[in-house]
Chains A and B, each alone.
Chain A
Amino acid sequence: MEDYIDVEEMPVPDLTYLRSVTGDDKDAIKEVITIFIETAPEMLTSLKNSALAGNHEQLRAITHKFIPQLVYVGILSVITDVKIINSESKEMNDLMQRVEKIIKIVNNSIDYLKNII
């Protein structure tokens, strides 16, 4: 729940976890990142659409799936926001702001990940 950050200040994904799980196997890391790059855009679209529609059940389901994916590819700076949406979306006045922040950071991270595989 920290202040919203500028795109220029966005942290890059931290691949420490993935390196550890794969034993630093480059091919395995590439496979996981590729799956994330393929599936994340659909996830972000669903996140935004569900938020716009006020579909809290759907938001809960999407964020449930999204949290571990973000951890595995090291996009840690949005984890708290996704968790908040997972547990508190019904009560949030800043839901869309947070969703936009998540989309911005994840898209930025996808660009970064595309460049390293």
Chain B
Amino acid sequence: MERILLIDDDRLIRKVFRMILSKEGYDVIEAEDGEAGLRMVRADKPDIVITDFQMPGISGLEVLSEIRKLKINLPVIMLTAFGDVVLTIKAIQLGAFDFLEKPVTPEQLKATVGNAIKSVKSSVSHVGVVHTDVSSQSMLTDNILVGRTPQMKEIFKNIGLISMNKVNVLIEGETGTGKELIARLVHYSGITQNKPLVVVNCSALTESLLESELFGHVKGSFTGSIGDKKGKFELAGEGTIFLDEISEISLNTQVKLLRVIQELEFEKVGGESPMPMKARIIAATNRNLEKLIEEGKFREDLYYRLKVFTINLPPLRERKDDINDLVIHFLYKLNKRFNRNVTKIGEGVIDMLQQHDWYGNVRELENTLLQAIIMSKNDVLEKDNITLNSRIHDNSTKDSAVVSEFRSLADLEKNHIKRILDEVKWNKLEASRILDITRPTLNAKIEKYNLTE
């Protein structure tokens, strides 16, 4: 029988977790703080540890760090708070097996513990890199990403891994999905956090200007170059250079960039002596690079050099469950910036926003909310103040968009319930929690609308 050590100062959480895990046949032992937990790790030899982040005395991160120093293969599952991206990344950097966001459902708990047990049996090591410098934390929290859908959680976990390794990263995602925020998160959460981050928008400059920007130039190398100029690669030093809209660089510049990556050195425009390139490259694109390769517009060899690790940012329409949290985040951010006080969300607003397809993604949502806040005459964000962009994405969505304007409320409810049920694989408990209705009510609606799995 596998033994699970629960470390949490919250009696109620320990009680609920014990109930769930005991029913699954696990031997559950408990500690009410980190110190006691570490003593039990040594004395009781658990197979898995589940620990909270925030506890009196030593924190969950310190518990994790101490366990890693013991050099034993002991999976540690961290319990994080709602939307705690920074701590999540740090936990993964320290070698946490996984993290669970409170409140945890029995299904999530059982699945994660099951995976941890499997990893012990297959002897997968979870010895992470000990790294506890939080000096750049404010840079992270100021630019925080909001997202707790499974796709976003996976991205945060990946950032935890890649930020400790200076590998090149390619970020793919539609306009407005937050590619630069991801780049900043990678830079400031890992080994480059105290080094420069240099941002270059490749589409904003002509070919010759871009080369001068990237590599710098020496005095007299071209008309108007009245002095030496450092390029972005030189300015980035041992930090990060973020090349936004990488697809827009010319084939000539692509060749030069490829050479820099291969040789790890570059030359200033008009210069003769090569300079070392020590920066990590994070490139971003909103276009399909593989298609551009097929069309002969992007070099395949450069593509593979850039995408040592790839992060695919989902469009907002594929993570609509994040809209509620995003609205709250932007309301407070925009209220502060524009000295407004819109702190309540009117009835039906979130539903309305979730019905929209957001082809401009998170940026479009932020702009929509800004406009609505400015239009608001009181402290409530009302549907009447929200103007949704009616841009039709393509012909295939045009018809459905028009039809949807005239759909009945019952029809919308039926589709929404069906979508949620499918999302959670017909776990009615989870669905009723998301829909904020009781299970009997959900069952009644399933029967009423004749919904089937």
List chain A positions with a Cβ less than 8 A from chain B. 1-3, 14, 16-17, 20-23, 28, 31-32, 35-36, 39, 60-61, 63-65, 67-69, 71-72, 76, 80, 83-84, 86-88, 91-94
Contact = CB atoms under 8 A, between A and B. Distances in A.
A1 B84 CA distance: 20
Contact of B332 (A2, A28, A76, A88): A88
25 contacts: A1-B331, A2-B344, A2-B347, A16-B429, A16-B432, A16-B439, A21-B19, A21-B20, A28-B19, A32-B12, A32-B15, A32-B16, A35-B11, A39-B11, A64-B53, A67-B103, A68-B12, A71-B103, A72-B103, A80-B328, A84-B332, A86-B83, A91-B333, A91-B335, A94-B343
A93 B10 CA distance: 30
A61 B54 contact: yes
A3 B349 CA distance: 13
A61 B10 CA distance: 12
Contact of B343 (A1, A72, A83): A1
A21 B345 contact: no
Given A17-B429, A20-B429, A83-B328, 8 more contacts: A31-B15, A64-B84, A68-B13, A83-B325, A84-B332, A86-B81, A93-B343, A94-B379
Contacts of B347: 2
Nearest to B11: A35
A96 to B, nearest CB: 12
Give the top 3 A-B pairs by smallest Cβ distance, nearest first: A68-B103, A64-B81, A71-B103
Interface string B1-27: 000000000111101100110010000
Given A21-B16, A23-B23, A86-B81, A65 B343 contact: no
Contacts of B371: none
Contacts, number: 99
Contact of B81 (A1, A3, A60): A60
A83 B12 CA distance: 19
B376 interface: no
Nearest to A64: B81
A93 B438 CA distance: 33
Interface string B257-270: 00000000000000
A64 B53 CA distance: 10
A15 B103 CA distance: 15
Contacts of A31: 15
Nearest to B81: A64
B25 to A, nearest CB: 14
Contact of B328 (A17, A63, A68, A87): A87
A19 B104 CA distance: 15
B106 interface: yes
B54 A65 contact: yes
